[in-house]
Copies of this chain bind each other. A is one copy, B any other.
Amino acid sequence: MNIILFEPTEIGKPLPKRDARAVHLLKVLHKNTGDSFDAGVVGGSLGIGLIEAVRLDGVVFSLDVKKSPPPRLPICVSVGFPRPIQLRRLLRDLSNLGVEAIDLVGTDMGEKSYRDTKLLIDGRARAALVEGAIQARDTRLPLVSAYAALDDWLADRPWDRERDTLASASGRDRSFRISPILIATDNVRPEGSFGLLNTLGHPVVVAVGSERGWSDRERNELESAGFLRLAMGSRSLRTETACIAAVVLAMEKTGKLG
């Protein structure tokens, strides 16, 4: 754990000793009463935690958190619903990278049953997002949404609602309301290569299909909605790998690689 994150509701209560964070503080970092540690509040700010006491009912701590979390990437990702076990890792990794939003979308070629996962409502998705944020020393989590079909996502255009935060993450004035570049990864029928794109200063919305790719019907829908179909090399990649690749390329193209 690169930082100890607390939910807002956990502040002011002792952290139970069986909690993984308490175990990490006491057994891995060998911290004790009077020691401080890197801390943050989920959705809030960053700073220092102080162990006030280690009691039978848990670790009593105080927080001094005034620092802003790191900036988010002006990047939204949509992805065809993967297997639940892959979904957890995907959410963790995209949260680690710091994307603004993750939209899970049912696709024509995707396995329909994957959409029925309880993971998004039983706390496991949130736990995966928190794990990714901890790795990145971040407090903020990507916004996660689910859509039954690509058409629903394209009709909803969530990136229009997110335009203010995306513009701000791009380093642009919010009033500029710059349009995002809309990209769909497609190694089967691409219109060009992701390598040739230049999106400097623009936010990016990138749609990654399911492992079997897009149907031609979906290609038409994407095209009508203004999406460019771009290839990332010529090999068929696993969904998780394709998502990481797409985000890293979008980072490079938006000048957010540092």
Contact = CB atoms under 8 A, between A and B. Distances in A.
Interface string A226-253: 0000011111111011001100110110
A190 interface: yes
A31 interface: no
Interface residues of A, number: 36
Contacts of A255: 195
A40 B232 CA distance: 24
A97 B232 CA distance: 10
B238 A241 contact: no
Interface in A200-236: 231-236
A245 B249 CA distance: 8
Interface string A68-103: 001000000000000000000000110011100000
A28 interface: no
Interface stretch (A17-25, A134-142, A151-159): A134-142
Contacts of A179: none
A126 interface: no
Instruction: State the 5 A-B residue pairs at the shortest beta-carbon distance, nearest first.
Output: A195-B257, A136-B235, A245-B248, A231-B258, A193-B258
Contact of A232 (B2, B193, B235, B257): B257
B235 A70 contact: yes
A194 interface: yes
29 contacts: A2-B236, A70-B234, A70-B235, A93-B241, A96-B237, A96-B238, A96-B241, A97-B235, A97-B241, A98-B235, A135-B236, A137-B236, A138-B235, A187-B258, A193-B258, A194-B257, A194-B258, A195-B251, A195-B252, A195-B258, A231-B257, A231-B258, A233-B257, A241-B244, A244-B244, A244-B245, A244-B248, A248-B249, A252-B252
